[in-house]
Amino acid sequence: MTTTAETGQSSGSKSSDDEAWAKLVPLDTRFADIEIRCNDMVICSEIKSSSLERHEWCRITKNLGQGSATIHNQSSDSILVDEAVIAKGGAADIRCGSEIVPGPGEQGYLQYRFTIMPTPESRTQLLKISIDPEHAKCSICLNIWHDVVTAAPCLHNFCNGCFSEWMRRSKAKHQHVLCPQCRTTVQYVGKNHFLKNIQEDILNADAALRRPAEDIAVLDSSASIQSNLIIGSKRKRRSNMPSPPVEERDSLRLQCPQCVANIGGYRCENHGAHLQCHLCQGMMPFRANLQVPLHCKGCDRPFCGAYWSSENVTQGVSNPVCSGETFRPISERTVTRIPFITHEMNRHEQDITQRCIVQMGKTVPDVVAEWLTRFSNREIDRSRMPLNHAEMITASTHVCNDCYDKLVGFLLYWFRITLPRNHLPEDVAAREDCWYGYACRTQHHNEDHARKRNHVCRPTRGNHHF
């Protein structure tokens, strides 16, 4: 089986520099920064704020060392550098923070501040943080966190598997789930993605702190926390009352239908954990061993549509419930148009994709179905797929509406990038590729650039270049 993989696209650039070493920052925030990537670069930009005309007005040359540069006046008039007049053809040294006006006076001219960018080495040095590994250990297993979760309100941190097992035992024996470290009643617990990055940095720095693979497998098998859980307290239910009064229920802002009544043979325990639906904000019980999916595989957010559909529960006055249409398997979904987020929301590229589809005598559903089959058969590279758990997603995976749109956009990207140039409409086939490809920021605020350059391609510059 052949897997389609992305290949680098030629930008036509003669410069080998990938990183900007300096930039001109306009003091008028309506205009974009001018990045300087060559050691000797001619600046061609708007001179007056009231005009869209672009002119060559200066050349900036990088001096030896990192502290300064030389600006050469190439305009038809004088310019100002730190309020000093530089005549036509003249030059001056500039440093980080120098203010530059591309004209003889400040009135009506854009003003720029010259900024020297830190080198990759200096950025790395600035971002170094020292952490004692002893402060990154789970108080249950006494090892470095694995898939770290944070309990609230005390904000102590534990391994997901360790806390999940602690929570299961606490719910069976106690009125509350207590923090294993400080014994505060836990009201919420959820994954901590920031600390997970720190956890990975510590383990990369000291491999001796890593656990054996079999220990990790045991932890992962016990882990049940995928998103924020709301944990109630255990209260004794009166047998002569069909449901507990409001003041005796857990302090949940919205009511879970199965906290009030037995539905489908299940009624929530008063101390049971709950999930809050990301879409309708309604509550549903957290039933870890249930086969019905509670979380979107693409974003890990909880959605109640599939669960309440399986329980035949519909919207009520006091219990928000999503329709089953909002959270369904990929194979049961249909698409009628190109999603707005496709091609990084570049409407020109969306229009070209639509024209290509029509020119081939197909429809958007036809193309999406074809590429979904290739996706399911693992014929395309998933490395840039904008969804979590990319390798685990199949046609039977439940995803939310947002993640389905992202998947469709991903498939349409592959449809476009694999099209030969001669299959593109004649008026766009000759466009040069943008150096920054799909990661270009200018395409979002410069209509002319978005239209004239191809952005459905791999970047050959910037942080996304690989």
441 and 398, same domain (yes or no): yes
378 and 282, same domain (yes or no): no
348 and 406, same domain (yes or no): yes
5 falls within a domain:
no
Phi and psi torsions of 39, nearest 5°: -70, -20
433 falls within a domain:
yes
Euclidean distance between CA atoms 121 and 126, whole angstroms: 9
58 falls within a domain:
yes
> In the block, which residue shows the tokens 């290509």?
356
Burial annotation 48-80 (CB, 10 A radius, 16+ → b, else e): eeeeeeeeebbebebeeeeeebebbbbbeebbb
26 and 112, same domain (yes or no): yes
463 falls within a domain:
no
365 and 443, same domain (yes or no): yes
220 falls within a domain:
yes
- Of 50, 81, 116, the last residue of a domain is 116
Query: Quick check: 388 and 300 in contact, CB under 8 A?
Result: yes
Euclidean distance between CA atoms 395 and 57, whole angstroms: 56
pTM of the model: 0.61
- Residue 280's contacts (CB-CB under 8 Å, 6 or more residues apart) are 304, 320, 321, 322
Euclidean distance between CA atoms 225 and 160, whole angstroms: 7
29 falls within a domain:
yes
Alpha carbon 444 to chain centroid, angstroms? 17
Query: Quick check: 67 and 117 in contact, CB under 8 A?
Result: no
460 falls within a domain:
no
Here the CATH number for the domain that contains residue 251 is 3.30.40
- Of 187, 208, 225, the last residue of a domain is 225
81 and 109, same domain (yes or no): yes
Domains contained in the chain, number: 4
Sign of CA dihedral 397, 403, 405, 410: negative
291 and 348, same domain (yes or no): no
In tens digits, the chain (466 residues) has pLDDT values of 555 655 443 333 334 446 788 899 988 877 888 888 888 888 887 777 666 667 788 999 998 766 789 999 998 889 999 889 999 999 999 988 899 998 887 677 888 999 988 776 655 555 566 678 888 999 999 999 999 999 988 899 999 999 999 988 887 777 778 899 888 888 889 999 889 888 988 898 888 899 998 999 999 888 888 888 888 654 444 434 344 444 444 444 467 888 888 888 898 877 678 888 988 888 899 887 788 999 999 998 899 999 999 998 887 656 788 888 889 999 999 999 999 999 999 999 999 999 999 999 999 999 999 999 999 999 999 988 999 999 999 999 999 999 999 999 999 999 999 999 888 988 888 899 999 999 998 998 888 999 999 999 988 876 654 4
291 and 389, same domain (yes or no): no
Q: Which domain holds residue 160?
A: 133-225
Phi and psi torsions of 356, nearest 5°: -65, -40
329 falls within a domain:
no
Structure tokens at 32: 């974009």
399 and 431, same domain (yes or no): yes
